[in-house]
Structure 1
Amino acid sequence: MIWIAIVLLCVVTISQFIYIRSNKKKIRDISYVLDDVVNGNLDRRLLANEETVISDLVYKMNEIIIHDKNKLIETEKSEKAYKELVTSLSHDIRTPLASLVGYLEVLESDSCSPEEQKNFLMVSKTKALNLSEYIQALFEWLKLESGEWIYHYESENICELTRIILADWIIKLEKNKIDFHFDIPEDSIFVVMDKNAFQRIVNNLLSNMLKHSGASLLTVTLTHSTSEIFIMISDNGVGIAEQDLPFIFDRLYKCDTSRTNNSNGLGLAIVKELLTALGGEISAKSTLNDGASFLLKLPYKHK
């Protein structure tokens, strides 16, 4: 019996020694991999057999590495996006600014006729207004991106509010010889929303149509169901190419058509961002040279 006990003790001791040595090797291997991860290689993964003492620890470490890699990818994408924004900003501001300075220098030289002076002043004013609009859009986008846009949610009669916004556009539409048809219910439909955000959404869409579509007709309709508000804004202008439609709400995206002349690539991105904040969504349908339609959906949240 003593010999059996001694043999069993030796077997257990040897097994424990092998087990400890094996785990020590695994821990050493894990340490090497973690050193590699610390040095920036987030593609490394830890390995462990199922149902071991360290397997659960290894799985959790792998989750942390994967999470850190995903955060790094997001950061790199964000940095790339901001570099693109700065590059676009530099180009979109410097080009019209240089042109504006050129026109003003010609006016200053007194080398042009009164008629030319009048034309140059009109062009200069247009370029200055375009710059002002671009800078305003940029500030709005940066406020949205940084979370500094402050929302004030109140109960608003969306029908009345939409009519007020559209009324401010009538003179501009008539000046540009654009016919319009507004179909807004006389009902009082009260919705809890941010009035300024909604106004910016509609104004950006109408401004986009006015500047880029070349349309002769604008149609705006408002309908609703028991749970949603639907606003359709359509024009009969140059339209948007099918390959561009999935990207028109992306920041800085500009379609390669006449619809994007003088575009800053921020207006529709701001629309989507604000609608998302209001719990809504937007979609677009278009055929090139056959107009475009934008459908806004807002939740019908009663106060």
Structure 2
Amino acid sequence: MLGIIITVLSVIIIFQFIYICNTKKQIKEISHILDDIGSGNLDRRLLAVENSIVSDLVYKINAIVIRDKEKLMEKDKSEKAYKKLVTSLSHDIRTPLASLIGYLEVLEKNGVTGEEHDEFLTIAKRKALNLGDYIQSLFEFLKIESGEWVYDLKKQNICELTRLILADWVIKLEENKIEFRFEIPEEAVYVVLDKSAYTRILTNLMANMIRHSHATQLSVRISCSLNELNLSIADNGIGIAEKDLPFVFDRLYKCDTSRTENSNGLGLSIAKELTASLHGEIHAESCWGRGTTFRLTFPKA
């Protein structure tokens, strides 16, 4: 009997010794892999026998490594996007600024007179205004990106607010010989909005249409369903190419068509960001050569 007990104990001790040795070996391998991971190789993964004493720890460490790798990839992607942004912004500011300076230097040095002087002065003023619009858009874009745009959300009669905003565009539409039709309900429809954000959304959409669509007709229409307000801005301009349509709201995206004239690639991006912040949605529909429609929806108060 004693011999059997000794034999059983001996077997248990041997198995325990083997188990400890294997565990020690696993821990040493884990330590080597962790050193490699610590040196920056986030593609390494720890290995462990299933249901071993270290398996749960290994799974958790691997999850942390995978998460850190994803964060690093996202950071690298963000840094590349930031560098692209800075490069694009620098170019977009330098180009019109250099052109403006060129016209002003001609006016100053070459003694231009008469109609040519007036023409150069008009061009210089237009370029200065375009540059001012771009800088304004840039400030707004950076405020949104940094989270510094302060929203004053209040219950607003969106029909009345829309009429007031569009009234400021009537002269501009007439100057550009664009026929317009506004279909806005007389009754009050209430939506929770930030007035300045909503004004900027409509301003950017109207400016985009006037500058880039080459339209002769424009319609703005508001309709309501049970829980939503729907607003559409439609023109009969040149439209947006099918390949460009999915990207028109991307920051700094510019279509490679005549729509890019004086474009800074920020207006529609700002409109989308602000619309989302007001819990709304915005979509673009277009057919090349047959016009563009922007559709917005907001939840009714």
Write out per-residue CA displacement over residues 81-102 of structure 1, whole angstroms, 9 at most, x where no aligned residue. 1111111111111111111111
Letter in 2 for 1:258: S
Corresponding residue of 1:114: 114
1:31 corresponds to: 31
- The answer for the alignment partner of 1:152 in structure 2 is 152
Aligned to 1:97: 97
1:176 correspondence with 2:176 = yes
CA RMSD of aligned residues (A): 1.0
Corresponding position: 1:275 with 2:275: yes
Structure 2 counterpart of 1:294, which letter?
Answer: F
Pairing 1:1-303 to 2, within 5 Å after superposition: 1-300=1-300, 302=301
Count of residues paired in the alignment: 301
Describe the SS at the equivalent of 1:160: helix
SS in 1 for 2:203: helix
- 2-structure distance, mates of 1:97, 1:121: 15
Task: State the alpha-carbon separation in 2 of the partners of residues 225 and 50 from structure 1.
Answer: 57
**How far apart are residue 21 of structure 1 and its match?**
1.1
C-alpha deviation, 1:50, in angstroms:
2.2
> Which amino acid letter does the alignment assign opposite residue 169 of structure 2?
W
The residue type paired with residue 160 of structure 1 is E
In 1: Cα distance, 2:245 partner to 2:111 partner: 47
Instruction: Answer yes or no: is the 8 Å Cα contact 2:191–2:298 preserved in 1.
Output: no
Percentage of matched positions with identical amino acids:
61
Report the Cα offset of residue 49 of structure 1: 2.5
Q: Whole-Å Cα distance in 1 between the matches of residues 30 and 278 of structure 2?
A: 48
Partner Cα separation in structure 1 for residue 32 and residue 239 of structure 2: 58
- Displacement, 1:111? 2.7
Q: Matched residue of 2:218: which SS? A: strand
Q: Secondary structure at the match of 2:276?
A: helix
- Residue 65 of structure 2 aligns to a residue whose secondary structure is helix
Report the secondary structure of 2:232's partner residue.
Answer: strand
**Other structure's SS at 2:221 match:** strand
Aligned partners of 2:261 and 2:30: how far apart in 1?
A: 57
Q: CA deviation at 1:166?
A: 0.6
Q: CA offsets per residue over residues 214-259 of structure 1, 9 Å max, x none?
A: 0001111111112211111111101000011111111111000001
Q: After TM superposition, what 4+ stretches of structure 1 lie above 3 angstroms from structure 2?
A: none
Gaps of 5+ in 1: none
> Given residue 299 of structure 1, which amino acid in structure 2 is its aligned partner?
P
What's the CA shift for 1:110?
Answer: 4.1
Matches of 2:63 and 2:226, distance apart in 1: 44
Tell me the CA shift for residue 169 of structure 1.
Answer: 0.4
Give the SS at the match of 1:273. helix
CA deviations over 1:133-181 (Å, ceiling 9, x no partner):
1111111111111111110111100010011111110000001000001
Q: Normalising by the residue count of structure 1, what TM-score does the alignment of the two structures yield?
A: 0.97
**1:248-271: per-residue Cα shift (whole Å, max 9, x none)?**
111111000001111111111111
Contact 2:240 2:286 in 1 (8 A): yes
Question: SS of the counterpart of 1:201?
Answer: helix
SS at match of 1:91: helix
Question: Please, which moves more after superposition, 45-54 or 198-207?
Answer: 45-54
